[in-house]
Amino acid sequence: MFKFILRRSLIAIPQLFLLSILIFLLAQAMPGDALSGRFINNPNLDPAYQSELRDKLGLNDPLPQQYARWIGNLVQGELGMSYVHNVKVETMLESRIANTFWLGLATLILTYLIAIPLGVIAGRWPDTYTDKFIVTYSYVSFSIPIFVFALIMLYIFGFTLGWFPTGGSVDVRVEPGSWDWYLSKLHHLLLPALSSALLATTSTIQYLRNEIIDTKLKDFVKTARAKGTPERKVYSRHIFRNSLLPVAAFLGYDIVFILGGSIFIEQIFSYPGLGQLFVDSITQRDFAVVNVLVMLYGFLSILGTLLSDIILSIVDPRIRID
């Protein structure tokens, strides 16, 4: 058990290392460097002085050396300077991280609030019309591209019906820290989170449904029934307990899915989070920020997958490699 967790975690280390190399090389291929930001407002600066400054900052050093310095800074939390805005990348991330975090959390909660009851209902009463409806929903949600769905949600509930705000993370007229401010934040979160959550439910619903249907036929459930356990108890005590646990394992994968979707969701709902920052930075060719974001997302997705694999190995020993 412990051995598996350790071995699985060790796989993440070369993955992180490779990821960092990949991003470093991508960064090298990107136009501009740490100095572009400072020079951008001053195009008349002497080119000779520019190259002298580059030498001083080590931008002409051999690649391995530059990589070592870059990764060293990254580990210490020195994320570099924005090429465009002439501020530290950390500063640009600060407020965005919180926004994306809350959006992600809301999405996760909504996902499970929708998926678990639906999965349980479909699994408990399979082949009914309710079940068919839920299964069809899970197929449909799997196949719809997130941006199309989010756009239509925004069009209907944001623009046409006007139930939700159509952009931003909070109403700027409300005083920060007040009750209304928090309510306004929640109000802004709800539609993007719901749009994302409605599409993130597929795997959980399908897994739960199949698991419950399978568990129903297991011998220990038959034994429980044979003993005369009331039907409700058979489900609550025996079946759900066995089937719900593995759902926890999807947490990590779901985080990765929601992160990927956040690029579109935040763009569509003009929600000032990391995903929107990424698209804006790319458009403005602010590659210092882009770099950090790609690294951050890669890091989170390695972590999310690791998390899921470990939870899965705890709750479902069948998949453990050793």
Partner 1 sequence: MATPAVNNNNTEIEKVKSPSGFKIIVREFIKDKVALISLILFLGIVLYVYIYSMGLDTKEVTRVDIFNQFQEPGPVHWLGTDYGGRDVYNQLILGARNSLTIGIAITLITSIIGIALGLLAGYYGGWVDNVVMRTVDFVLVLPALMIIIVYVSIVPEFDVRKFIFIMSLFYWTSKCRLIRSKALAEREHEYVAASKTLGTPDWKIMLFQVLPNLSSIIIVNMTLNLAGNIGIETSLTYLGFGLPESVPSLGTLISYSRNPEVMENKPWVWLPAAILILVLMLCINFIGNALKRAADARQRLG
Partner 2 sequence: MTLLKIENLKVYYPVRGGFFRRVIDHVKAVDDISFELQPGETYGLVGESGCGKTTTGRTIIGLNRPTAGKITFNDVELTKITRRDFYKYRKDIQMIFQDPYSSLNPRKRVIDIIAEPIRNFERLSPKEERMKIMEVLEKVGLSPESIYKYPHEFSGGQRQRIGIARALTLNPKLIIADEPVSALDVSVQAQVLNFMKDIQKEFNLTYLFISHDLGIIRHMCDRIGIMYRGRLVEEGTKEEIFENPQHIYTKRLLSSIPQMNPEERLKHMAFRKEVNQEFKNNYDKYFDAEGKIFDLKPISETHSVALP
Instruction: Enumerate binding residues for partner 2 (CB under 8 A).
Output: 3, 6-7, 322
* Of 111 and 305, CB closest to partner 1: 305
Q: Which helix (H) or strand (E) holds 61?
A: none
Give the range of 123-131, 169-177, 220-228, 281-289 binding partner 1 by CB under 8 A: 281-289
Give the range of 56-64, 114-122, 212-220, 275-283 binding partner 1 by CB under 8 A: 275-283
The helix/strand/coil state of 81 is: strand
The CA distance from 13 to 6, in Å, is: 11
Q: Residue 7 touches which of partner 1, partner 2, none (CB < 5 to 8 A by kind)?
A: partner 2
Contacts of 221 (CB under 8 A, 6+ apart): 215, 234, 238, 239
Residues within window 97-126 making contact with partner 1, judged by CB under 8 A = none
Token digits of residue 280: 């804006």
The helix/strand/coil state of 88 is: strand
Q: Residue 283 touches which of partner 1, partner 2, none (CB < 5 to 8 A by kind)?
A: partner 1
* Of 4 and 157, CB closest to partner 2: 4
How far apart are CB 7 and partner 2 at their closest, in Å?
7
Say how far residue 99 (Cα) sits from the centre of its chain. 12
Assess 260 for contact with partner 1 (CB under 8 A).
Answer: yes
How far apart are CB 8 and partner 2 at their closest, in Å?
12
For residue 197, how many other CB atoms are within 10 A of its CB?
23
Contacts of 117 (CB under 8 A, 6+ apart): none
* Of 175 and 322, CB closest to partner 2: 322
Rounded to the nearest 10°, the torsion over CA 244, 265, 141, 315 is -20
* Of 6 and 29, CB closest to partner 1: 29
* Of 18 and 113, CB closest to partner 1: 18
Give the range of 106-114, 212-220, 227-235, 294-302 binding partner 1 by CB under 8 A: 294-302
If phi over 0 gives left and psi between -120 and 50 gives alpha, with beta otherwise, what is residue 177? left
CB-based burial of residue 69 (10 Å sphere; 0-12 exposed, 13-18 middle, 19+ buried)? Answer: middle
Give the range of 71-79, 95-103, 150-158, 217-225 binding partner 1 by CB under 8 A: 150-158
Single out the residue of 294, 134, 298 nearest to residue 212, CA to CA.
134
Q: Residue 155 touches which of partner 2, partner 1, none (CB < 5 to 8 A by kind)?
A: partner 1
Residue 253 DSSP code: H
* Of 16 and 174, CB closest to partner 1: 16
* Of 119 and 240, CB closest to partner 1: 119
Phi, psi of 88 (to 5 degrees): -70, 145
The CA distance from 84 to 81, in Å, is: 9
Q: Residue 206 touches which of partner 2, partner 1, none (CB < 5 to 8 A by kind)?
A: none
How far apart are CB 313 and partner 2 at their closest, in Å?
16
If phi over 0 gives left and psi between -120 and 50 gives alpha, with beta otherwise, what is residue 61? beta
* Of 240 and 281, CB closest to partner 1: 281
Contacting positions for partner 1 (CB under 8 A): 11, 15, 18-19, 22, 26, 29-31, 139-140, 142-148, 151-152, 154-155, 159, 166-167, 256, 259-260, 263-264, 267, 278-279, 282-283, 285, 290, 293-294, 297-298, 301-302, 305
